[in-house]
Structure 1
Amino acid sequence: MRALVQGARLTPTQRRIARELVHHADTVAYLSAGEVAELAQVSQPSVTRFAMALGFDGYPALRRRLRELTAGQRAAPAPDGDNDLQRAVRDEMGNLNRLADHLADPAAVHAAAGLLAASRPLPVLGLRAAAPLAGYFGYFAAKIHPEVRVLDSGGSLLYERLEQAADSGAKAVLAYALPRYPRELRDALSEARVLGLKVVVVTDSPVSPAADLADVTLTAAVGSQLVFDLHTAPMVLTMVLLQAISDVDPAATQRRLEHFESSANRRSVFMD
């Protein structure tokens, strides 16, 4: 599914359709063009143009291909009587299952870990809804990485802080790009590339607006069944990435963790 859309040059409207295709592949393959348009909140002709942008004659040809790709993989129906809240949680469980399947090939995670572990300092970028995830990563990464800089606010200072990180020796930046994608995030990633930084992006889809600026893209779907998005899968992917970073140099990781524990005990940081 991801291979169909990865690398294609898509308009913003087509990216929205692609996100629905990737996130709801088990059902989209059995919907009409009109139903897909309603799901993605676009016009029906947009769905046809999207299929043609991927190299198909029209939506029916794309749907046939989707059915071939998803044959035997349709999700089991939710238990009868589930309410909206239960359905939202079950949908999030599906996102986690898809993440687990995607990690069968951990090459991208290991590539990202290698770039981030070697960057001194390591800037971590997350704006608006993605800011808490950047902070979450930064809190734990600081225990195993000598210098982590969380950049979670925009404005002109953001570009200065990227420049300062590059001047201090940074080689890579980690960015969280989650819906709704701030325009300022894309601008900051463009600036990071100008500064010569490698870009690792954690995002919800291989066709998110930040993916084409990344050297390594890691994806985890965002739940959209409630008023505000659920970031469960991106948070799990964050911990997976931290594990991979810690495995780059296990001896150094162990030394830093032991130093933290010694310091925390001396200062009685925790109650247990």
Structure 2
Amino acid sequence: MSIPALGLGTFRLKGQTVIDSVRNGLDVGYRVIDTAQIYDNEAEVGQAIADSAVPRSELFLTTKIWVDNFGEGKLIPSLKESLRKLRTDAVELTLIHWPSPGGAVPMAEYLGALAEAKAQGLTGQIGVSNFNIALLKEAIGILGVEAIATNQVEISPYLQNRTLAAFAREQGLHLTSYMTLAYGKVLPDPVLREIGGAHGASSAHVALAWALQQGYSVIPSSTKRANLLDNLKAQALHLSEAEMARVATLDRGERLANPASLAPAWD
């Protein structure tokens, strides 16, 4: 089972806001929904899905295990609670949200529990998020690269994560880009606007298409139905090599997701 190219993210969306976003997303054509335990919106995502006319069999759901649930037999019970909130027997993908802070819980322990969750049929695929190269090497040593469906990391035109991306390509490891639009910071960028203008496209289209053309999956979020529909159009935009090279010049190492208590030593 491959990771779909474009999905709907729900980070920072809560309550009725996330219900409306997911409902509108499903209505305009999204079939991939990304959530997480720490987002505190799994129940609302589950409600929006249950209230929609889209069959569960058509959806690809991702959730992420929070760091508090890594040790002492907590991971699988926490995933079962996530499934209860999402109103489903299993999700398509479950990720480790961040590596264990300070290595407090051995990786073999929490990845082993995640693999057991897959064996129990609670999740179709497993993977990681916010892992640097050293952590990926350790994870590959534990699970084997073929067992890791994706590493979900921050990638945008302003943070292109090239060293990690090169390692992932060498290993045949898929990457999922989050914050591809850098919280909207890239939208007024003149280079992206100029490229978009040549295609009758928005700067958001260009940023998303840039990531998609490199083989990454993307999970942009929005509270506006028009923007949700607009983001889907990125799949139809093809950038030339010259245009891709112009976007490459925008990298400035600007990382937005970097919590001191969780972040590893980035590459």
- Tell me the TM-score normalized by structure 2: 0.29
- Tell me the TM-score normalized by structure 1: 0.29
| Higher strand fraction (1 or 2) | 2
Q: Specify the structure having the higher radius of gyration (Cα).
A: 1
| Higher helix fraction (1 or 2) | 1
